[in-house]
């Protein structure tokens, strides 16, 4: 029997970037060939930040098209929208009772928000409760593994804690503990500032489906070796984000080795290295970019994919929720 995999993506923006792709989406898509996979767009999670209904719809559509264009195959995996399966929200309400307020206060997303200067008074409860809903997303499907980027590790650990606490309370084995599947190499892709994780909220991204001009601008503006002032100075390749991106995106490995060699020697300028990266990006994502444009004209088909996905997801979700209600005593009069 194939092991079950589950993951979600929050449509907090309308497009994915290469950090999302290499850190999460590509590993997820690869697993669809060998595992039983469930992937969903976490639209309820997006409500923590998106309070404009048109924008939310745009984001959801954008992320769904991105996934399908990047190779998610609905004949191999179940792809759905979180809010179409009400059991996610229902299970979250139950699970909230098996985790303490103290532990929730230690979650990064909440702590980071406080650190940006937001007051406790202003932080919405959706953000505070976010990891509980995420635990429900996961535990509902009893998956073996959760492929995500490094920044999601703490959330998966919380899901494990909740599962253990629930199992212990009722002396059951209702929830198997999910494993984080996080890559050491690409679980945290650095942004074009060369410092922080690539993230849309930090403005340090390289897009996938944006206008070529914008992608060029993002790449040309990227941090390189700050100690190299002229093209004739020997440069540093290790830890240089431009070469990390070349390693990830440039399928012409000979060209990459040649550029690295010339960079070390001081016989190539940053501009040429970056221009070659723009060309490599267009080559790598060209087919996906075309496919996305084609899919955007077939929204009826896309809606059908999500509706069929939701039906299949619901079959599993219903069984787990019934089991949980039964365990806690919420069906006593039935």
**151 is annotated as contributing to ligand binding:** yes
Say if strands 179-181 and 145-147 run parallel, antiparallel, or are unpaired.
parallel
The distance of closest approach from Cβ of residue 155 to ligand TRP in the complex, given in angstroms and rounded to an integer, is: 6
Longest Cα pair distance anywhere in the chain, in angstroms? 81
Return the one option of ligand ADP, ligand TRP, none that residue 187 interacts with (CB less than 5 to 8 A, by type).
ligand ADP
The distance of closest approach from Cβ of residue 188 to ligand ADP in the complex, given in angstroms and rounded to an integer, is: 5
Our answer to whether residue 230 is catalytic in this structure is: no
Q: Which of 113, 260, 274, 276 is catalytic?
A: 113
The distance of closest approach from Cβ of residue 258 to ligand ADP in the complex, given in angstroms and rounded to an integer, is: 27
Give the whole-angstrom CA distance, residue 242 versus residue 252: 15
CA-closest candidate to residue 288, choices 68, 69, 72 = 69
Q: Which two tokens stand for residue 31?
A: 């697993």
CA-closest candidate to residue 131, choices 165, 173, 103 = 103
- For the segment 118-137, give every residue that binds ligand TRP (CB under 6 A): 134, 137
91 lies in the binding site for ligand TRP (CB under 6 A)? no
The distance of closest approach from Cβ of residue 16 to ligand TRP in the complex, given in angstroms and rounded to an integer, is: 10
Between residues 36 and 151, which has the closer beta carbon with respect to ligand ADP?
A: 151
Burial of 120 (0-12, 13-18, 19+ CB in 10 A): exposed
Interface residue list for ligand ADP (CB under 6 A): 9-10, 12, 19-20, 23-24, 148-149, 151-152, 187-189, 197-201
Q: Which of 58, 197, 217, 312 is catalytic?
A: 197
The distance of closest approach from Cβ of residue 286 to ligand TRP in the complex, given in angstroms and rounded to an integer, is: 26
37 lies in the binding site for ligand TRP (CB under 6 A)? no
DSSP-based three-state secondary structure for 14: coil
Query: Other CB atoms closer than 10 Å to residue 297's CB: what's the count?
Result: 8
78 lies in the binding site for ligand TRP (CB under 6 A)? no
Report the phi/psi class of residue 112: left, alpha or beta, with left for phi > 0 and alpha for psi in -120 to 50.
alpha
Between residues 185 and 294, which has the closer beta carbon with respect to ligand ADP?
A: 185
Our answer to whether residue 334 is catalytic in this structure is: no
Burial of 96 (0-12, 13-18, 19+ CB in 10 A): middle
Give the whole-angstrom CA distance, residue 190 versus residue 195: 6
Q: Which of 76, 142, 200, 312 is catalytic?
A: 200
Q: Which segments are annotated as binding site for ATP?
A: 10-12, 19-20, 149-151, 189, 197-201
- The annotated binding site for L-tryptophan is made up of 137
- Give the annotated binding-site residues: 10-12, 19-20, 137, 149-151, 189, 197-201
The catalytic residue positions are 113, 197, 200
């Amino acid at each position: 029997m194939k092991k079950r995999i589950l993951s979600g993506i929050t449509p907090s923006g309308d497009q994915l970037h290469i950090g999302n792709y290499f850190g999460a989406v590509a590993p997820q898509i690869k697993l669809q060939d060998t595992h039983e996979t469930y992937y969903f767009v976490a639209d309820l999670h997006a409500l923590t930040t998106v309070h404009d209904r048109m924008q939310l719809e745009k984001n959801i559509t954008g992320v769904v098209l991105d996934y399908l264009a990047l190779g998610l195959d609905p004949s191999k995996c179940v792809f759905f929208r979180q809010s179409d399966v009400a059991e996610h929200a229902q299970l979250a309400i139950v699970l909230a009772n098996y985790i303490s307020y103290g532990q929730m206060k230690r979650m990064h997303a909440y702590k980071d928000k406080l650190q940006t200067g937001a007051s406790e008074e202003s932080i919405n409860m959706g953000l505070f409760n976010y990891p509980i809903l995420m635990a429900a997303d996961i535990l509902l499907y009893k998956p073996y593994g959760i492929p995500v980027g490094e920044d999601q590790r703490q959330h998966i650990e919380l899901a494990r804690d909740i599962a253990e606490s629930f199992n212990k309370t009722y002396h059951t084995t209702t929830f198997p503990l999910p494993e984080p599947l996080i890559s050491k190499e690409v679980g945290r892709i650095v942004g074009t500032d060369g410092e922080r994780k690539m993230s849309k909220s930090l403005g340090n991204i390289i897009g996938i489906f944006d206008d070529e001009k914008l992608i060029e601008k993002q790449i040309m503006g990227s941090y390189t070796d700050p100690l190299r002032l002229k093209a004739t100075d020997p440069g540093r390749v290790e830890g240089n984000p431009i070469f990390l991106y070349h390693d990830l995106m440039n399928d012409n490995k000979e060209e990459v080795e040649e550029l690295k060699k010339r960079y070390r020697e001081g016989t190539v300028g940053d501009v040429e290295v970056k221009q070659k990266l723009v060309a490599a990006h267009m080559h790598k994502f060209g087919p996906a970019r075309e496919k996305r444009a084609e899919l955007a004209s077939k929204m009826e088909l896309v809606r059908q994919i999500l509706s069929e996905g939701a039906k299949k997801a619901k079959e599993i979700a219903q069984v787990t929720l019934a089991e949980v209600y039964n365990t806690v005593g919420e069906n006593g009069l039935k």
